[in-house]
């Protein structure tokens, strides 16, 4: 959720500062979603001049018209005030006239979408008293239902500069914080922030908990509509084709280094000199980091170093898509600011130890003991002007919660007499050391980028690209894979269509160990000896082990691995294996239940790849959002969204009735065009498809809405049978 985005930008010149540009913020939400509360909090806390434009009170405290709202909006913009449009604005037509203010007054127009559960909005509306528009009590429920039937979520192509989606109270509070701390001269970055994955049926609680998502009969559908007065809305699937703006969340798969200002806090290095060195070194390296990005981070919107660096980088004409500044907590850039950074820099101490204060303490605390352990394996100390890369184990909270795969420790010069190795204001030496520190930092990052690019080309088709035999470790022996996790003794490539590990297929079994490369034995080794892989396994029984997919293709992606010798893949399965298949399915369903308690908006499929790239039969438990930086190419998508992926319920049924499962191993499935897993619209590439997935709320196709192939949340039910 992008809310407190650090990439708040200051005016470019004095004239702009003297006459700050106002903004128009259009609230979008049903009655009871909290629009007025949002406005009141922002106006109470903000130093920027705001005016709330509310149609319920526009006529001298009484309800008025849209035209009156537009008139006072125009007047306020002329006076330099920013405005909050407090109306429901639930469809494009209702928003259009306010969006046109963008052109008339040369202002940015933002949308804050309070897309909270309908049940919550109804409950609030019914219970409230003294409402400005007198929408309260029993009549409120019918009004909310009727309005939600016409809900049309805003899109950038309507003319919005920025859209923020809020789906829960935390999202709303973060959005309030963003706008409440926005000074008169601040400008927020453009783009879409927040995720839009809530399913209408899940919101309204009309499905039983962990219910199979079956295609509704006409009777059921009509009954639902009569009782709830809500129908699924039709979505316009047009994808915005504009370029990503500086400061927005990087596209999935773009390597990004977030780094703090080195030595200017505890080590008291002169900020003016430090800003020169940052810009100088960035300019030197910005074209050496491939498709990577550099982001200077500070915790405060009033940061002097950010403002200095930003202005100096602009003078140097440094590409803002390759380098920009960001305000936020470096340990929470993804969850707290929507900025996905796979690498972060730590302003370390020479002992490379946790504690102290500032960034060092924060990063070690956020990463947990795993970072300290991993660091000690790499080095015991660090000299000023140097940096060292430490891959994070996947179990580290920074990895699992923020997507940080590497921490680069870097040590700059010290000008603080209370700290070791003080240079006593010798800035000739200090500037040289600081330049060396940033150079070493960026060189380490460039090495990671090169390795990721190379590994993406060579290993992008694997289910699991890493060996789990020794857990997650840094490969110092094989320079080819420096910066990655170890991939085992063999460098043999894998292929999702099974060609590299071709053995018996179709409806005959008998995979041979020799068919699998060394790296592809990882799941087998975990299944046979889980006690040696305690850090990888999250559940173990006599029949299965469960572990997270280390390169998940969705928000939630687990593997349930069979502990049966000789059961290498789906081709080996016979009726004798039905008990273990049912156990695998039940274990997967249990984990789905756990995930849905955390996030009720998710939908899951359980299934197998017809021709897996790793040995040992494993069931994929995967959410259908496919929101992951690891989903990068057509084979990744089609391996889960074509006949190549066999649903667990179908496999069990086929084996029960025919003795063998059907395998769809043909390579043609991997080269199929990219189609949305909901509306089946076609898309030319993965970025376009991902953009579409964020806004698509169409029902799943009929073939998935049958036989319990999909699992969703529904409250107040204990029935978890399948």
Q: Is the pLDDT of residue 232 over 70?
A: no
pLDDT at residue 123 in the model: 81
Distance, in Å, from the CA atom of 111 to the CA atom of 25, rounded to the nearest integer, reads 6
Question: CB within 8 A of 516, min separation 6: which ones?
Answer: 501, 524, 568, 614, 615
Question: CB within 8 A of 117, min separation 6: which ones?
Answer: 198, 203, 204
Phi, psi of 39 (to 5 degrees): -60, -45
| pTM over cut 0.85 | no
- pLDDT bin (cut points 50, 70, 90) of residue 62 is confident
- Burial of 19 per CB tally in 10 Å (0-12, 13-18, 19+): exposed
Pick 480 or 22 by higher pLDDT: 22
pLDDT at residue 270 in the model: 95
Nearest residue to 405 (alpha-carbon basis) of 349, 465, 356: 465
- pLDDT bin (cut points 50, 70, 90) of residue 226 is very low
Mean pLDDT, all residues of the chain? 79
| Superfamily the domain 479-712 falls into | HIT-like (3.30.428.10)
Query: Span 471-486, mean pLDDT?
Result: 33
pLDDT at residue 181 in the model: 84
pLDDT at residue 9 in the model: 53
- pLDDT bin (cut points 50, 70, 90) of residue 478 is very low
297-313 pLDDT, tens digit per residue, is 998 878 899 999 999 99
Residues written for the chain: 722
426-441 pLDDT, tens digit per residue, is 999 999 999 999 999 9
Give the C-alpha distances (Å, rounded to integers) separating 703 from 197, 658, 700: 21, 21, 8
Distance, in Å, from the CA atom of 486 to the CA atom of 492, rounded to the nearest integer, reads 13
pLDDT at residue 355 in the model: 82
Query: Span 31-42, mean pLDDT?
Result: 91
Query: Span 226-238, mean pLDDT?
Result: 30
Q: Is the pLDDT of residue 246 over 50?
A: no
Query: Span 10-37, mean pLDDT?
Result: 76
- Residue pair 336/174 in contact by the 8 Å Cβ criterion: yes
Task: Give the strand pairing for 23-28 and 108-114.
Answer: parallel
Q: Is the pLDDT of residue 481 over 60?
A: no
- pLDDT bin (cut points 50, 70, 90) of residue 213 is low
- pLDDT bin (cut points 50, 70, 90) of residue 207 is very low
pLDDT at residue 38 in the model: 93
Pick 667 or 552 by higher pLDDT: 552
Long-range contacts of 507-514 (CB under 8 A, 24+ apart): 507/571, 507/660, 507/661, 507/662, 507/663, 508/571, 509/571, 509/572, 509/573, 509/574, 510/571, 510/572, 511/568, 511/569, 511/571, 511/572, 511/615, 513/615
398-417 pLDDT, tens digit per residue, is 988 888 999 999 999 999 99
pLDDT at residue 454 in the model: 56
Give the C-alpha distances (Å, rounded to integers) separating 75 from 72, 79, 415: 5, 6, 53
Q: Is the pLDDT of residue 122 over 50?
A: yes
Catalytic residue among 618, 630, 636, 683: 618
| Superfamily the domain 14-194 falls into | P-loop containing nucleotide triphosphate hydrolases (3.40.50.300)
Q: Is the pLDDT of residue 187 over 50?
A: yes
Number of separate helices (H) and strands (E) present in the chain: 22, 22
Q: Is the pLDDT of residue 537 over 70?
A: yes
| pLDDT above 70 as % of the chain | 77
- pLDDT bin (cut points 50, 70, 90) of residue 237 is very low
> Which stretch of 166-170, 252-256, 370-374, 684-688 has the lowest confidence by average pLDDT?
252-256
The residue extents of the domains of the chain are 14-194, 256-457, 479-712
CATH 2.40.160 at 256-457, yes or no:
no
Pick 690 or 18 by higher pLDDT: 690
pLDDT at residue 208 in the model: 38
Q: Among this protein's residues, is 557 annotated catalytic?
A: no
- Does residue 178 sit in helix, strand or coil? helix
Query: Span 94-110, mean pLDDT?
Result: 92
pLDDT at residue 378 in the model: 86
pLDDT at residue 137 in the model: 65
């Amino acid at each position: 959720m992008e809310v407190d985005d650090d990439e708040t930008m200051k005016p470019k010149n004095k004239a702009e500062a003297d006459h700050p540009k106002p903004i128009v913020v259009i609230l979008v939400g049903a009655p009871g979603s909290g629009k007025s509360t949002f406005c009141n909090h922002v106006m109470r806390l903000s130093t920027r001049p705001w005016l709330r434009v509310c149609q319920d009170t526009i006529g001298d405290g009484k309800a008025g018209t849209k035209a009156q709202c537009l008139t006072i909006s125009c007047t306020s913009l002329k006076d330099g005030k920013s405005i909050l449009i407090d109306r429901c604005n639930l469809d494009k037509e209702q928003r259009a006239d306010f969006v046109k203010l963008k052109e008339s007054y040369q202002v940015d127009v933002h949308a804050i979408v309070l897309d909270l559960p309908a049940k919550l909005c109804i409950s609030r509306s019914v219970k409230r008293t003294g409402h400005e528009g007198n929408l309260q009590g029993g009549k409120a429920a019918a009004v909310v239902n009727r309005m939600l039937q016409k809900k049309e979520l805003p899109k950038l192509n309507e003319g919005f500069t920025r859209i923020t989606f809020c789906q829960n109270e935390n999202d709303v509070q973060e959005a309030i914080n963003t706008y409440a701390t926005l000074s008169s001269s601040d400008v927020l970055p453009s783009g879409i922030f927040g995720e839009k994955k809530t399913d209408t049926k899940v919101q309204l609680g009309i499905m039983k908990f962990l219910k199979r998502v079956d295609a509704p009969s006409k009777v059921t559908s009509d009954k639902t509509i009569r009782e709830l007065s809500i129908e699924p809305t039709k979505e316009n699937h047009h994808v915005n084709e504009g370029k990503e703006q500086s400061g927005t969340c990087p596209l999935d798969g773009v390597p990004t280094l977030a780094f703090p200002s080195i030595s200017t806090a505890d080590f008291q290095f002169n900020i003016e000199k430090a800003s020169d060195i940052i810009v100088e070194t960035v300019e030197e390296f910005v074209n050496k980091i491939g498709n990577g990005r550099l982001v200077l981070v500070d915790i405060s919107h009033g940061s002097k170093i950010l403002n200095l660096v930003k202005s100096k980088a602009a003078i140097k004409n440094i590409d803002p898509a390759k380098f920009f500044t960001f305000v936020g907590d470096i340990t929470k850039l993804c969850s707290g600011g929507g900025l996905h950074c796979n690498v972060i820099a730590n302003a370390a101490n020479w002992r490379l130890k946790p504690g102290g204060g500032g960034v060092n303490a924060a990063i070690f605390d956020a990463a947990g003991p795993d970072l300290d352990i991993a660091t000690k394996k790499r080095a015991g100390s660090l000299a000023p002007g140097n940096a060292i890369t430490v891959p994070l184990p996947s179990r580290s909270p920074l990895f699992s919660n923020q997507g940080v795969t590497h921490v680069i420790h870097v040590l700059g010069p010290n000008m603080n007499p209370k700290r070791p190795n003080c240079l006593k204001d010798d800035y000739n030496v200090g500037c040289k050391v600081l330049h060396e520190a940033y150079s070493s930092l960026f060189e380490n990052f460039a090495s990671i980028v090169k390795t990721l690019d190379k590994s993406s080309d060579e290993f992008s088709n694997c289910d699991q690209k890493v060996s789990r035999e020794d857990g997650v470790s840094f490969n110092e022996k094989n320079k080819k894979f420096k910066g990655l996790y170890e991939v085992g003794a063999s460098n043999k490539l894998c292929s999702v269509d099974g060609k590299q590990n071709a053995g018996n297929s179709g409806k005959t079994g008998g995979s041979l160990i020799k068919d699998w490369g060394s790296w592809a034995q990882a799941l087998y080794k975990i299944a046979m000896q889980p006690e040696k892989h305690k850090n990888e396994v999250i559940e173990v029984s006599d029949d299965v082990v469960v572990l997270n997919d280390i390169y998940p293709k969705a928000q939630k992606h687990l593997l349930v691995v069979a502990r049966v010798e000789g059961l290498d893949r789906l081709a080996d399965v016979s009726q004798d294996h039905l008990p273990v298949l049912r156990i695998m399915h039940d274990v997967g369903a249990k984990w789905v239940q756990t995930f849905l308690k955390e996030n009720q908006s998710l939908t899951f499929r359980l299934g197998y790849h017809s021709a897996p790239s790793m040995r040992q039969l494993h069931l994929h438990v995967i959410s259908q959002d496919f929101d992951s930086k690891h989903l990068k190419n057509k084979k990744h998508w089609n391996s889960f969204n074509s006949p190549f992926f066999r649903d667990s319920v179908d496999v069990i049924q086929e084996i029960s009735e025919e003795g063998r499962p059907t395998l769809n191993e043909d390579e043609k499935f991997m080269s199929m065009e990219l189609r949305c897993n909901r509306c089946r619209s076609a898309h030319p590439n993965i970025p376009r498809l991902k953009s579409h997935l964020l806004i698509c709320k169409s029902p799943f196709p009929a073939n998935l809405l049958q036989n319990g192939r999909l699992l969703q949340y529904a409250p107040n039910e204990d029935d978890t049978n399948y």
